[in-house]
Structure 1
Amino acid sequence: MDRLSLNQITTKAWSLPEAVRGCAEAGVGWIGLWRDKVAEVGVDEAARLVREHGVGVSSLCRGGFLTGVEPDGSPVDGVAMTKEAIGEAARLGAGVLVLVVGGIAGNDLAASRQRVADAVGELAPLARERGVVLGLEPLHPMQCAERSVLSTVDQALAIAAEHPADAVGVVVDEFHVWWDPRLAESIAAAAGRIAGFHVCDQLVPLPDPLLGRALPGDGPIDHRMLRARVEAAGYTGPIEVEVFNAELWRQPGDEVLAKVIRAYRDHVAG
């Protein structure tokens, strides 16, 4: 339980105060915060709550879309949004800011990936100055057009490796990368660069590319094997259970957290 982190999206119905209190009461020492939930109470109040309850912040999700487009195609200043998010992460004591980098801009995949690389180059010095690691999170290829032009650990690592490890790393999210035939080699190559490890399972058949996730143990992913690989690459930090699942979101937060703890113990923990 010392490494278990509740990613806040898993208990979406809970407010930030409810989630922090729930973690503290259940003995869960970490929480992965989302900026929209933080905004509901304000950054200073959120920081006070986690300190008061003795809960560490494993990450803040997320920065802006660095390709410059929202999932619906509308333009966005992702660099400015990420600069703001870096400041919030620092104030919250979150060592990692998760970056979902954005989908294809102008129907040009190569140029979109270069936009991401350029943006990270601009943001890395600020992140390092504030003590925050930018965690590049590759998403499943089915989300390339809308949410992330980075689809593999290799692609994220190629950008991260251009910067100090205490400024830019990669986030390994099981749902997005477990299928990759190069995953073992990619994780090994990312030694010293893994900034986060997110666990969940995949529903079979997949009902939705975003919400088709389940608690560990309810799908085909070998969680202990992947945990062993990220640990062999040097990652010993919090393990976030992050589940996008509409049915789970309709359940009371305390019941969901109890299921998270049971799934983590049964299928993830050593």
Structure 2
Amino acid sequence: MSGTPSLDRISLNQITTEHWSLEEAVEGCLRHDVPWISVWRHKIHEIGLSKSRKLIQDAGLNVSSICRGGMFPAPTPEERRERIEDNKRAIEEAAELGTDVLVLVCGPAPDKDIDSARKWVEEGIEELIPFAREHGIKLGIEPLHPMYAADRSVISTLGQANTISERLQSDYVGVVVDVFHVWWDPDLYREIERARGSILGFHVSDWVVPLPDIFKARGMMGDGVIELRRMRQAVEAAGYHGPIEVEIINDAIWNQPGDETLKQMKERYVEHV
């Protein structure tokens, strides 16, 4: 558990090279010997599911996850039903591309009633379980930093995600640990241990000071304050030995050549993760 994780585990989360198409991202992974890719749905939809599948399969890449499902809360039952149907499409896309993890960004409250929004999140995940099981897809609840509670997710701590996972008691529901979102939590390491056996993904970036933006805020590993190696060792001690996704949302990184980004992310992964 000490030292550096194998480069066989590194995954390009596609948002890190947002200006690349899926085809360009696949070609970049091949050039830089990155064996895994996490695909975003808007990139799939640009070229279609069948072409996306063929690109990835022909390249021999492994898909670590599909991002994203979720966004369950909505003001009316009809809209919440539409969200469920969209999540079912995401599950089908994940199965088609050969991954077994759909990452859930759970969604904000449509009004000021955050308690109801959290209830709708849990109800939505519970409703999806039979469909997910049928397709062999696990639903990874990703807590987001509290600064995103108003516009992206009312699930803000790993503890909340663990509680939902435990209540639903399904092999097809677990949690995703993203260092950017949870590093600050005083209960983090207890909650990582609590998630033993149900961690479905581990995402790395860094928290730089000052943040360059709210949404496009993440830095390259080693440029910020997160104890990356300690956190990686903790998720491994809790049983997670799967791919490690580099997920960086940052204009400066998006605007540099993608090949430079992949070269740098591999170097920083070895040095800091």
Partner of 2:228: 223
CA distance in 2, matches of 1:139, 1:130: 26
1:24-35 pair list within 5 angstroms: 24-35=30-41
Partner of 2:4: none
Contact 1:211 1:244 in 2 (8 A): yes
Partner of 1:242: 247
Residues 1:3 and 2:9 aligned together: yes
**Which of 55, 62, 83 lines up with 1:56 in the alignment?**
62
Query: How far did residue 25 of structure 1 move?
Result: 2.0
Contact 1:68 1:76 in 2 (8 A): no
Query: How far did residue 160 of structure 1 move?
Result: 1.4
**1:266 and 1:76, CA in 2 relative to 1: closer, same or farther beyond 3 A?**
farther
Q: Secondary structure at the match of 2:167?
A: coil
CA distance in 1, matches of 2:136, 2:184: 33
Q: Secondary structure at the match of 2:109?
A: coil
Partner of 2:142: 137
Partner of 1:115: 120
Q: Secondary structure at the match of 2:20?
A: coil
Contact 2:146 2:156 in 1 (8 A): yes
Instruction: Give % identity.
Output: 51
**1:196 and 1:264, CA in 2 relative to 1: closer, same or farther beyond 3 A?**
same
- Runs of 4 or more, structure 1, over 6 Å off, are none
Query: How far did residue 64 of structure 1 move?
Result: 3.8
Partner of 1:161: 166
CA distance in 1, matches of 2:29, 2:130: 33
Q: Secondary structure at the match of 2:88?
A: helix
Q: Secondary structure at the match of 1:97?
A: strand
Contact 1:8 1:31 in 2 (8 A): yes
Q: Secondary structure at the match of 1:63?
A: strand
Partner of 1:151: 156
Partner of 2:109: 104
**1:127 and 1:75, CA in 2 relative to 1: closer, same or farther beyond 3 A?**
closer
Partner of 2:266: 261
Contact 2:72 2:80 in 1 (8 A): no
TM-score (norm 2): 0.94
Q: Secondary structure at the match of 2:69?
A: coil
Query: How far did residue 165 of structure 1 move?
Result: 4.6
Query: How far did residue 75 of structure 1 move?
Result: 8.2
CA distance in 2, matches of 1:234, 1:223: 17
CA distance in 1, matches of 2:245, 2:171: 20
Residues 1:91 and 2:73 aligned together: no
State the AA in 2 paired with 1:109: I
Q: Secondary structure at the match of 1:6?
A: strand
Residues 1:207 and 2:212 aligned together: yes
CA distance in 2, matches of 1:26, 1:165: 37
Please identify, of 160-169 and 11-20, the stretch whose mean Cα deviation from structure 2 is larger: 160-169
Contact 1:140 1:177 in 2 (8 A): yes
CA distance in 2, matches of 1:219, 1:64: 29
| Cα deviation code 1:221-250 (max 9, x no counterpart) | 011100000001100000000000001111
Unaligned runs of 5+ in 2: 1-6
Partner of 1:13: 19
Residues 1:181 and 2:180 aligned together: no
**Which of 193, 199, 207 lines up with 2:198 in the alignment?**
193
CA distance in 1, matches of 2:16, 2:170: 29
TM-score (norm 1): 0.95
Q: Secondary structure at the match of 1:161?
A: helix
CA distance in 2, matches of 1:78, 1:176: 24
Query: How far did residue 208 of structure 1 move?
Result: 1.9
**Which of 170, 175, 178 lines up with 2:175 in the alignment?**
170
CA distance in 2, matches of 1:202, 1:40: 31
**1:122 and 1:165, CA in 2 relative to 1: closer, same or farther beyond 3 A?**
closer
